[in-house]
Amino acid sequence: MDETRHGGADGRSIDRRTMLREAAAAVPLVCASTALAAQEGAPAGARPESAFPGQILRQQQPTNLEFPFPTLNSFITPTDRFFVRSHFAVPTLDARTWRLHVEGAVNQPLELTLADIQQMASRTETALLECAGNNRIFIVPQPAGLLWELGAVSNAEWTGVPLAAVLDRAGVRPGAVEVILEGYDRGEVRSFPNPYASPGPISFARSLPLAKARSPEVLLAHRMNGAALTASHGYPLRAVVPGWYGMASVKWLRRIIVTDRPFFGYFQTLEYAYYERRHGLPSLTPTTELQVKALIARPMLHEVVPVHRPYRVHGAAWTGESEVTRVEVSTDGGQSWSVARLLGQHVPHSWRLWEFSWQNPAAGRRVLIARAADRRGHTQPVQRDPDRRNGMINHLLPIEVEVR
Ligand SMILES: Nc1nc2c(c(=O)[nH]1)N[C@H]1C(S)=C(S)[C@@H](COP(=O)(O)O)O[C@H]1N2
Ligand SMILES: [Mo]
């Protein structure tokens, strides 16, 4: 393999040697190509769309890939590094025969071609997607679900048509309350590594309340980072729901169904739902908005940090319908905190890169922690709230390193 370059938006690039060095140092990381080679029965040449040095393999079938967060070096995540979360095999779709159906409580049901959608007025915006299960590997005892470390999160530029424009074209009837987005992918969910089995084969589907569905930032996207969507990211058309966890951004769109009653599908009850206590009674509630969070890219877990030399601690922070206003870093396990520098500008629904200069690290084991706050005053919980089940993980994460 050649010295593959991965240009970032800021013009920097990472060579393969750097990637190998970094991946080798990160204990829980599994290199995708190594894991695939070790996989018995994998047909020769069967690799995910982008193998190492692109991503970390978290599941072979369906293919689930993590962005190697310690390599974070650009505001926009290149498409071949962007994490992939798919519950079923990637459907093979031909843009010439693909159709989007709009039905349910509408005046005019629609059957749209990709060309129909591409002819509508488009909008481009930057938005982060984070899987609600990101950082699950830190939860003790180990919960159900894929064990993501830091990188089930990425930031990209999306181009498409506002969902609102398609809804207007169909005409939403009075009494409608939700919009269900359904993908072309289908399968049976097994009880491992998922928490619950599905009632036979199901498709991936999620609903949005009508108000969010009509929000101008919610897109039916056909382009990602300036190119057509790749198969694993939803070709030919996907939803992008900025400000919400990734499960709302349904890929490989098949149907948009306007309903006059709430939807209780698998992926918003048995999965991607948390307990909200109403009247003291835990009530399963679909996961929606992103929680405020800061993550450290470097140093990475168990990294060896050179003693008595300034070290650039850096990472990214984000929140839901607000703006990150403060990131703080502790290098002593949370006893004292220093303010980190926010880089660049605030871009709605995107992450904000940050850095902090760790002066004169003393020898020994050190625990680094980052924490963020947003304009609304939302902060990160110190402890994990079990009502969140196996998702929405934003409590403080200790990153232990060795200074020597
Ligand atoms: N059709 C379909 N859409 C889907 C999924 C899926 O399995 N099928 N996974 C969802 C989840 S849980 C996440 S986190 C995001 C991930 O998007 P990405 O694979 O482009 O990173 O897609 C969402 N959309
Ligand atoms: Mo997800």
Q: How many A from CA of 324 to the centre of ligand 2?
A: 22
The three-point CA angle 164-169-174 to 5° equals 75
Does residue 191 have a pLDDT over 70? yes
pLDDT at 289 over 90: yes
For residue 88, the ligand 1 atom closest to its alpha carbon is 7
Q: Which residues line ligand 1 (CB under 6 A)?
A: 82-87, 129, 131, 183, 185, 204, 233, 246-247, 249-252
Residue bearing the CA closest to ligand 1, atom 24: 250
pLDDT value, residue 54: 74
- Mean pLDDT confidence for 146-166: 97
| pLDDT, mean of residues 33-47 | 35
Give 59's contacts (C-beta < 8 A, 6+ positions apart). 146, 193
Work out the average pLDDT over 145-161. 97
pLDDT of residue 380: 98
| Closest C-alpha to ligand 1, atom 9 | 86
Ligand nearest to the CA of 231: 1
Please give the pLDDT value at position 348. Answer: 98
How does DSSP classify residue 322? S
Q: Which atom of ligand 1 is nearest to the CA of 185?
A: 1
Residue 246 CA: which ligand 1 atom is closest? 14
Token duo for residue 188: 């049976």
Nearest CA to ligand 1 atom 23: 247
Given the CA of residue 184, which atom of ligand 1 is nearest to it? 1
Q: Which residues are registered as beta bridge partners of 276?
A: 283
pLDDT of residue 193: 80
pLDDT of residue 51: 41
Q: How many angstroms does the Cα of residue 374 sit away from the middle of ligand 2?
A: 23
Residue 19 has pLDDT above 70, yes or no: no
Comparing CA positions, the residue from 372, 352, 371 lying closest to residue 153 is 352
Atom of ligand 1 lying closest to residue 233 CA? 20
Q: Is the pLDDT of residue 8 over 70?
A: no
Distance CA 102, CA 99 (A): 10
Q: Please tell me the distance from the alpha carbon of residue 26 to that of residue 21, in angstroms, as a whole number.
A: 9
Q: How far is CA 349 from CA 128, 290, 318, 320, in A?
A: 6, 9, 8, 7
**Between β-strands 202-209 and 178-187, what pairing exists: parallel, antiparallel or unpaired?**
antiparallel
**Predicted local distance difference test score (pLDDT) of residue 313:** 98
Quote the ligand 2 centre to 133 CA distance (angstroms): 6
- Mutation probe of ligand 1 site: the residue of 50, 64, 79, 87 with most atoms within 8 A of C-beta: 87
Distance in Å, CA 132 to ligand 2 centroid: 5
With a cut of 90, say whether residue 44 has pLDDT above it.
no
pLDDT category of residue 40 using cuts at 50, 70 and 90: very low
Smallest-distance ligand from the CA of 64: 1
Nearest residue (by CA) to ligand 1, atom 5, is 86
Burial class (CB in 10 A: 0-12, 13-18, 19+), 13: middle
pLDDT at residue number 29: 38
Q: How far is the CA of 103 from the centre of ligand 2 (A)?
A: 26
Q: What percent of the chain has pLDDT over 90?
A: 84
Q: Which ligand is nearest to the CA of 250?
A: 1
pLDDT of residue 389: 95
Ligand 1 centroid from CA 252, angstroms: 9
pLDDT at 195: 84
- Segment 169-198 shows an average pLDDT of 95
pLDDT for residue 38 is more than 60: no
3-class secondary structure, 231: helix
338 against 12, higher pLDDT? 338
CB-based contact 208:198 (threshold 8 Å): no
Give me the DSSP letters along 6-58.
Answer: EE-TTS-EE-HHHHHHHHHH-TT--BHHHHHHHSTTPPTT---SS-TTS-EEE
The per-residue pLDDT for range 79-108, each reduced to its tens digit, is: 999 999 999 999 999 999 999 999 999 999
pLDDT digits (tens, 9 = 90+) for 321-330: 999 999 999 9
Average the pLDDT over 106-125 and give the result.
Answer: 98
pLDDT of residue 377 exceeding 80: yes
Whether residue 390 contacts residue 139, with contact meaning beta carbons closer than 8 Å, is answered with yes
Pocket probe mutation, ligand 1, options 65, 98, 131, 223, max atoms within 8 Å of Cβ = 131
Mean pLDDT across the chain: 89
Query: Could you tell me the distance, in angstroms and rounded to a whole number, from the CA of residue 84 to the centre of ligand 2?
Result: 9
The pLDDT value recorded for residue 394 is 98
Taking residues 20-32, report their average pLDDT. Answer: 36
What is the 8-class DSSP label of residue 379?
B
Ligand 1 atom with least separation from CA of 84:
19
Q: What is the mean pLDDT of residues 268-286?
A: 96
Confidence of residue 12 (pLDDT cuts 50, 70, 90): very low
